[in-house]
Amino acid sequence: MDSNPGLNITGTETVIGQGTGADGAVFRTLLDRMSDGVFIARDYRFIFANAALPRMLGYEHDDFVGLGFDAVVAPDFLELWVQRFRQRIGEGEEPPGRYELRFRMKGGRRELPIELNASRVVFDGQRCVLGIVRDMSGRKLAEHALRESEQRFRGTFDQAAVGIALMDLEGRFLRVNPKLCDILGFRASELRALTMETITHPEDVSLDIHPLRCVRNGEQTTYSIEKRLLHKSGTATWARLTISLLLDEMGAPSHFIAVIEDVHDRHLAQTALADSELRHRLLMHNLHAAVLVCAPDARILYGNPEACRILRMDSALLAGRTIAQLGCQFIDPSGEALAPERDLVRRVLASGKEMNDVVVGVRHDDADTLWALVHAYPEFDTQHRLRQIVVMFVDITDRSRLEAERDADRQLKTAALNAITAHVAVLDKRGVIVETNSSWRAFAERGGYTGNMTFVGVNYLDALARCDRDEAPHAEAACEGILSVMLGRSALFQMEYACHAPHERQWFSLKVTPMDPARERVLLSHENITRIKLAEEAVRILANTDALTGLANRRHFFEVAEEEFVRAQRYETPLTVLMADLDHFKRINDHFGHAGGDAVLCGFAIILSSLLRDSDSAGRLGGEEFAVLLPHTALDGARAFAERLMERVAENPPEFDGQPAHYTLSIGIGELMPDCLDFSALLRKADEALYRAKSGGRNRVEYAARPCNDAT
């Protein structure tokens, strides 16, 4: 619209007209500088919008004005939108003015969550709808992130054998696991101050640009590359980086998840492999292995350098031969030579199944026997036709090297377990503890346990069954959950429980997951979530409390009042409600300033709270208006309460800047009567009485006289 709207308030109706003077220009400037969107709607379309609203939805201003509801309002909310639009431009009571919905971004591919405050206005002589739109996407993204955080990182994040990191869209590290710290030599706190770009070798920074752009544009969901990362010592280490994009509930990019595998030692060997699928197989098996790829007729198609070394034959000579034509002898562990029909390729061809961990000797005429651990498997195409047979040899002649690798694996697992702050135990299929981490043992020591600190050999299920009566419900639930994972009924069991001491409140989260497909071992962890629980408790208190006075806020007071109203009706017990208003509060603000006014409100809240019983409730409904709910109290009791309250207020004026801030109260009392259909009706009785108290000179108490359902 080219003209500037002007705003006037006439009686109880908001009237908006076409202002062209200084006032209109100022009003339009204010509208265009608002961060919230503002619109006027009529005839099922948007006829006015400030600068913020089109920008919020990706439109130019002139493109947005004139759009119909169906082009802007998300389909799931369109019917409700139209219904409330009709109610608002019609006669009678307006529908709720504030609610949440979604607007469609330009192009319709995304939807923006918004909070709408709508009201009935008159614009150019016609009844329209004025709306104020607030972008809720930030808050929605935060809520979604909280809901997904547990799912994203549960399980084995901190126990993974590869580095894992959660990054924001600029590549900053938000969370890293211990393995990544081990690969790069940084502490977790140091990595969180860095980005993926700063730890990438300068010559390899450009490798990420194109695939990262494709992921951000939605052309692909993930990518993997090998590049050099900078160790804390300044040296470069090769790593395989897999980046995946996480989307929020609106389909917008939210975070990156990065998996970093240390491939420095075998980087050159992997790059020598031309076949990417074979390279992936080698990576998955994590072996320095010799590889033969054979055709369905048993002829060798390819042998890698390690295979050439073991078989003592050049790769060009390997191609086209069968196992029997290699010029070396294959023997079983007993020393018996394998017949040609028993070589691994022909055995896989005959059975069509893979063969695992077969020990075979390779004997050459002029050398000692080389022993290998062999894994052979068939590969099929998309039509389930045999494509090739892959045979992998691992040289196990040097047993001391193999034992050293096993020891290193055990040490790594132990270090990973001990690095976890949660209390972790590994149970066998009978529930017997076979391993614990240092956190588990330290917790037992702090609790005064004097037995075997490793707990190895203790049946955890039996220990749960011996818990005392107070802990029995949690112990039974934990026992049932552990058994459900052990028996394969559940892939994961998780429960939260309280573990309070006389001088300390604590909460823990129990998680149980299988460690192997056969479920011979299960991993059990107890994580201290006390800080989270206390934070949730603090949030609940903040959500239900008036920030200035510490009393219940309007929403929480009404929740409590509705419950008490239903209870009083069900059991036919008396119930009264007081509405109290501080007289001439504006004078207090004018004289003492808003700080003085706040001190008066806080002082009144303290006096009011001191008079309440445990069953009573009080809340600040807004400004200087308060409400008190008195269950099991008839009119006489409410009258006595009101008189005590007024006496205390008169006797204890708060001081501000050395001056007493005297004030008085006007109080209206409503009593539950049979004609009261809901709490709102009871509150109206008290509010009507309050109005009479203020009209009658203030500093007094009045009582409701009319029935609740009297609409006159």
Domains in the chain (CATH in brackets) are 4-139 (3.30.450.20), 159-264 (3.30.450.20), 269-402 (3.30.450.20), 420-533 (3.30.450.20), 545-703 (3.30.70.270)
Query: Nearest CA to 61 among 78, 82, 39, 43?
Result: 39
Can you give the pLDDT at residue 8?
Answer: 46
pTM beyond 0.95, yes or no: no
**Dist CA 601 CA 588 (whole Å):** 10
The pLDDT-based confidence of 698 (bands split at 50, 70, 90) is very high
The pLDDT-based confidence of 578 (bands split at 50, 70, 90) is very high
The pLDDT-based confidence of 5 (bands split at 50, 70, 90) is low
Summarised one tens digit per residue, pLDDT across range 72-129 is 999 999 998 898 888 888 877 888 888 889 999 998 889 999 999 998 898 888 899 9
The lowest-confidence range among 107-116, 388-397, 638-647 is 388-397
Q: 611: buried, middle or exposed (CB in 10 Å: 19+, 13-18, 0-12)?
A: middle
Q: Which of 111, 564, 624, 702 is catalytic?
A: 624
For residue 363, pLDDT beyond 70:
yes
Can you give the pLDDT at residue 33?
Answer: 84
Question: What's the whole-number mean pLDDT along residues 567-574?
Answer: 92
The lowest-confidence range among 52-56, 190-194, 412-416 is 412-416
Summarised one tens digit per residue, pLDDT across range 555-564 is 999 999 999 9
The pLDDT-based confidence of 445 (bands split at 50, 70, 90) is confident
**Dist CA 228 CA 241 (whole Å):** 10
**Dist CA 180 CA 187 (whole Å):** 9
Contact 140, 250 (CB under 8 A): yes
Query: Nearest CA to 224 among 258, 187, 194, 254?
Result: 258
SS3 27: helix
Can you give the pLDDT at residue 151?
Answer: 62
Question: What's the whole-number mean pLDDT along residues 541-546?
Answer: 81
For residue 3, pLDDT beyond 50:
no
Can you give the pLDDT at residue 136?
Answer: 87
The pLDDT-based confidence of 705 (bands split at 50, 70, 90) is low
Question: What's the whole-number mean pLDDT along residues 531-542?
Answer: 74
Q: Tell me whether residue 624 is one of the annotated catalytic residues.
A: yes
Question: What's the whole-number mean pLDDT along residues 243-250?
Answer: 81
Tokens standing for 64?
A: 């947005």
| Interstrand relation of 665-671 and 701-703 (parallel, antiparallel or unpaired) | parallel
Report angle CA 45, 99, 50 to the nearest 5 degrees: 45
**Dist CA 132 CA 193 (whole Å):** 39
First CA to last CA across the chain, in angstroms? 44
For residue 482, give every residue at least 6 positions away whose Cβ sits within 8 Å of its Cβ, in sequence order, or none.
Answer: 427, 431, 460, 461, 493, 512, 522, 524
What is the CB-side half-sphere exposure of residue 551 using CA atoms within 13 A? 30
Backbone angles phi, psi at 324, to 5 degrees: -70, -15
Can you give the pLDDT at residue 666?
Answer: 94
Can you give the pLDDT at residue 9?
Answer: 37
Mean pLDDT score of the chain: 83
Query: Which of 165-174, 315-324, 608-617 has maximum average pLDDT?
Result: 608-617
For residue 706, pLDDT beyond 60:
no
Tokens standing for 429?
A: 């299929």
The more confidently predicted of residues 522 and 707 is 522
Summarised one tens digit per residue, pLDDT across range 261-317 is 988 887 755 555 444 555 544 543 344 688 889 898 888 888 888 888 888 888 788
Cα–Cα distance list, 48 to 31, 37, 63, 163, 522 (Å):
11, 11, 11, 53, 63
Tokens standing for 584?
A: 């001439």
Q: Which H or E element spans position 195?
A: none
**Dist CA 66 CA 348 (whole Å):** 71
| Interstrand relation of 386-395 and 370-380 (parallel, antiparallel or unpaired) | antiparallel
Output Rg (C-alpha) for the chain, integer angstroms: 37
| Interstrand relation of 111-123 and 13-19 (parallel, antiparallel or unpaired) | parallel
Question: What's the whole-number mean pLDDT along residues 586-599?
Answer: 89
The lowest-confidence range among 275-289, 432-446, 658-672 is 275-289
The more confidently predicted of residues 84 and 506 is 84
What is the CB-side half-sphere exposure of residue 330 using CA atoms within 13 A? 22
For residue 338, pLDDT beyond 60:
yes
SS3 380: strand
Q: Which H or E element spans position 196?
A: none
Sheet holding 236-247, edge to edge: 173-176, 163-167, 253-262, 236-247, 222-230
